[in-house]
Structure 1
Amino acid sequence: MTLQQLPLNVQLPSNQTFATLVAGPNAEAYTLVRAGEDTLVYLWGSAGVGKSHLLHAVCNEQAENVIYLPLSELKDSMDAGILRGLESYALICLDDIDAVLTDQNWCFEVFALLNRVRDQGATRLLVTANTSPAQLQSAYPDVQSRLSWGVVLQLQKLSDEEKVQALQQRAHAMGLELRSDTAQFMVQRLGRDLEDLMQRLERLDKASIAAQRKLTIPFVKAVLGV
């Protein structure tokens, strides 16, 4: 069963691949995750370090027999029972697992899934959170110990230079030309949250198509009101 066959309104961004992922200080973690030798990997770090992008890249690369669930988006619209049976997949990616663990129903289903994955031993499980397993708020404390059984990796933020590179790589994947000076202007003037910068790049892409304009600093100022 592929992701597209599931009754979920979840779309993987096609431009969030390893080709558009700048490793920076996270090169070792990315290599380990991409190698796929560990059954359980727990990735944590603050917003904007690329946790979701890494999961999207892994899913896009493997393509078949993969399930990706953005739990922060699904917790209020889906029943926790959706986690039952996921161990039939070769790869399970649970994004923002900390968003559901204070809910007893969700936490129980996460606990049960972790046990099934461990007992079966044939499924890879990648999870992300904003904090380390020891700092998690959980309705069932045993979930914290289960999550720490695997490889625990903290992802770090990119430098400004690496964010410029990331913007340029994403722009290239979108068919845009983003010069270094324009990318540097965006990082310096629009804030250093990489996720927010990528969203603004999407807005600039639409505006440049509509106006038939290149992404210059004056154009960025005009579109984004900088």
Structure 2
Amino acid sequence: MKQIPLALVPPPSGGFESLLQGPNAAAVQHLRSLVMPAAPIYLWGDSGTGKTRLLRALAAERQREGERIGWFDAQDPLPWTLDEGWSLVVVDGCEALDAERQQAAFALFVEAGSHGVQWAAAGRLPPIDLPLRDDLRTRLGWGHVFALQALAEGETRAALRREADRRGILLSDDVMDYLLTRFQRDLKHLMQLLDRLDEFALAEHRAITVPLLKKMLAEQA
């Protein structure tokens, strides 16, 4: 279990201003304008479509208002317990919930509803196709459901550039070309690679270049 105020959710943790909406504008706008508590929210799509990033943006926005968040995913140890001081409960990776965590998620859903706590969740599959118990699958699907899509190449470039600018990193065109032609183009993996590259450049006291990227990959292989 992760409580957002304790900074246990990994970066990037910027709000909606750090996101490129692309084909997911409807989901972004819904979350940005959300007046809580509202109907439950479920985001689904392939890896790299931005599900977790959108949930982090929602959590970051609520934190800015001084609210407290409960965050759970399929790998978190039990028990999962609702804190009545939370304004939002997030469950990520719903497709990977085992039987015990399905029970825990269902109990959280019911308890959150009874205490006026907003519910948001995400998974790789639409609710109807989730390999979950019927009562949990039904509840995940009865609120606002958004199917997310991967960004096009131009949008992926813009998202990487925006994140690099946010970090104060100069990401040259040749580095960008190298990233997009030699690695998976989904944003999740590219952002993770940017995290590693940022840390490596700081440790090496060097600017980010293609030779530095190659050195990092060779040393971390």
Normalising by the residue count of structure 2, what TM-score does the alignment of the two structures yield? 0.85
Q: Structure 1 residues 210 and 89, CA, compared in 2 at 3 Å: closer, same or farther?
A: closer
Note the aligned Cα RMSD (angstroms). Answer: 2.3
Match of 1:114 in 2: 109
Match of 1:41 in 2: 41
Q: Which runs of 5+ in 1 are unaligned?
A: none
* 1:14 CA drift (Å): 5.2
* 1:123 CA drift (Å): 1.8
* 1:129 CA drift (Å): 0.7
Q: Secondary structure at the match of 2:139?
A: helix
Moved over 6 A (4+): none
Q: In structure 2, what is the Cα distance between the partners aligned to 1:173 and 1:60? A: 15
**Among 191, 205, 208, the residue aligned to 1:215:** 208
Match of 1:97 in 2: 94
Q: Structure 1 residues 43 and 87, CA, compared in 2 at 3 Å: closer, same or farther?
A: farther
* 1:55 CA drift (Å): 1.1
Match of 1:72 in 2: 74
Q: Which runs of 5+ in 2 are unaligned?
A: none
Q: Which moved more, 1:89-98 or 1:144-153?
A: 89-98
CA deviation string 1:176-205 (max 9, x = no partner): 111244223311222213222112212221
Q: In structure 1, what is the Cα distance between the partners aligned to 2:67 and 2:202? A: 36
CA deviation string 1:101-154 (max 9, x = no partner): x41x3222222222233344x22111001101100111x311111111101111
Match of 2:20 in 1: 22
The total of aligned residue pairs comes to: 213
- Aligned positions of 1:193-212 closer than 5 A: 193-212=186-205
Q: Secondary structure at the match of 1:126?
A: strand
Normalising by the residue count of structure 1, what TM-score does the alignment of the two structures yield? 0.83
